[in-house]
Chains A and B, each alone.
Chain A
Amino acid sequence: MIQVNDLSFSYTKSPFISGMNFSVSEGEIFGFLGPSGAGKSTLQKILIGMLRTYQGSAMVNGVECKKRTKHFYENIGVDFEFSTMYEKLTARENLQFFSSLYEKKPRPIDELLERVGLEQDADKRVADYSKGMKSRLNFIKALLHDPLLLCLDEPTSGLDPTNSHMMKNMILEEKAKGKTILLTTHNMQDATELCDRVAFIVGGKICALDSPHNLIMSKGAATVTYTWFENGEHSASCPLGRVSSDEQLKGLIAENRLQSIHSSEPTLNDIFMDVTGRTLV
């Protein structure tokens, strides 16, 4: 679905995105992770044909993004990180207008509104919507024309846990229908749950690319941390796989002197810190 070869791009004279190579196959959810300003949105803009002054090659659905035609957009749905609605129109009017731009038969608007819980507010002006309502509306706008590729830029930002869960389910449904999804997020939990593979982007370069599972495994096993009291509080930790050879821990268990014990599995967040030397915001 997507092939990127030796892609470079910059807004200014100094290099920004450089030497990027990756491909995304059909039906895959591919995540872009990285700190603010790393170039995630920029990369998405290249892939949807908005920035056309790049070097190298970026093919989407068999078309070089620079040379996109009208038809190219029949199969791309985009949810930007900002709202892109006519504020003075109602949600329904907005969706009706945007769907009228495609040759394809649109998906039923009422059904989509109902899926994201906006059926009661369909005839309210978008200007009177809350942040989370706007996010949901922008999300279904990307689905209107049933595109093969969905580009979602931080779709769950500003959503409450229930709505966020609902949106993640809808994303998985699209995947089940064979759609390809590019997902940018700052939420490591979401990335782990949804993405087949993720690319860590820092300073315009990909520093790691693999499935969340493999990345987490590469970090090594979980560790056990325990504390006990003996002239003040002490703590120690050992890898989960070697607890039986930790004599101190065994002793503490035998004497029932443990104050606390917990295991911590590595997460994508740890991987992120390793790869980039900083935490996500």
Chain B
Amino acid sequence: MKAIRFSFFQMVVTMGRDMMLFMACLAPILAGFFFRFAIPVLETVLTQSFHIPAVISPYYKLIDIFFAMLSSTMFCFVSAMVALEESDEKTAVYLFITPLRKTGYLSARFGVPAVIAFLVTLVLLPAFKLTPLSPAAIFLFAAGGTLQGMIVALLVLTVSSNRLEGMAVTKLSTLTVFGAVVPFFIKDKVQYGVFLLPSFWIGKAACENGLFYMLPAFALSVMWISFLLKRYMCKM
């Protein structure tokens, strides 16, 4: 425990010194304010100038679940960047042969940030949500979002071999988040083409007000995470 605690603090210090990583951690709050206060104003302006009843408001649910995935994706992205730097500098290899070991390292770099992201989302989502969400929905969306963030981080880690590549791969792997958009825009059966993405099911749960769709989302997330973890363990 002591080792996990200190190596997590070590990561926080690294983040504090890196402007980009620091901003990434603040992003959820900035985005929260934007979603909550700027978007409704924008909607009023748009509906009035085009004389139509709704432009963005049908997608408020989509914005809410994006927000549920945001904190976790940002925190896990930051962790992945730190972890990539640690594998560049070979400090990760050294940490594996201290009492921290691989399991402690993974806890400090992904477990702890994911738990924090989950808690942060539980606080921020009720504060910044655009649609009425039940406590159960908030809890499930926050949990689904947290797992989604871990998938992005692990994808970045397993696919790229250094920090520079990591930045590029991040842009690609955040695409997995956009599975959530599909149920909102494609009503046809074609939408099931992306059934492997947990975010698709989260989107479906929000779009069709069916929280039971979170079940496949969790099951698929666990499968993705265990598959990627195995790949990562082999690579190190």
Contact = CB atoms under 8 A, between A and B. Distances in A.
A208 B6 CA distance: 44
A101 B97 contact: no
Interface string A37-70: 0000000000011100000000000000000001
Interface of B: 2-3, 6-7, 10, 14, 17, 89-91, 93-101, 104
B14 A88 contact: yes
A267 interface: no
Given A70-B101, A80-B90, A101-B100, 4 more contacts: A50-B97, A70-B104, A86-B14, A101-B7
Give chain A's interface secondary structure class.
Answer: loop
Interface of A: 48-50, 70-71, 73-74, 76, 78, 80, 82-88, 97-98, 100-103, 141
B186 to A, nearest CB: 46
Contacts of B94: 78, 80, 84, 98, 141
Nearest to A74: B99
Contacts of A48: 97
A33 to B, nearest CB: 23
A73 B6 contact: no
A49 B96 CA distance: 9
A101 B91 contact: no
5 contacts: A73-B97, A76-B97, A85-B91, A86-B89, A97-B10
B90 A84 contact: yes
Nearest to A93: B13
Contact of B6 (A71, A87, A101): A101
B97 A71 contact: no
A84 B93 contact: yes
B89 A101 contact: no
B234 to A, nearest CB: 11
Give chain B's interface secondary structure class.
Answer: helix
A103 B99 contact: yes
Contacts of A71: 99
A226 B17 CA distance: 68
A97 B91 CA distance: 11
A73 B90 contact: no
Given A98-B94, A101-B6, A84 B99 contact: no
A74 B98 CA distance: 7
A86 B91 contact: yes
* Residue among A74, A83, A100 facing the most chain B CB atoms (10 A cut-off): A100
A84 B90 CA distance: 5
Nearest to A45: B97
A80 B93 CA distance: 10
B98 A102 contact: yes
Given A88-B14, A97-B10, A101-B3, A73 B93 contact: no
B89 A73 contact: no
A78 B97 contact: yes
Contacts of A80: 90, 93-94
Contacts of A102: 3, 98-99
Nearest to B5: A100
B90 A83 contact: yes
Contacts of A87: 89
A80 B90 CA distance: 10
A98 B6 CA distance: 9
A50 B89 contact: no
A70 B97 contact: no
Nearest to A83: B90
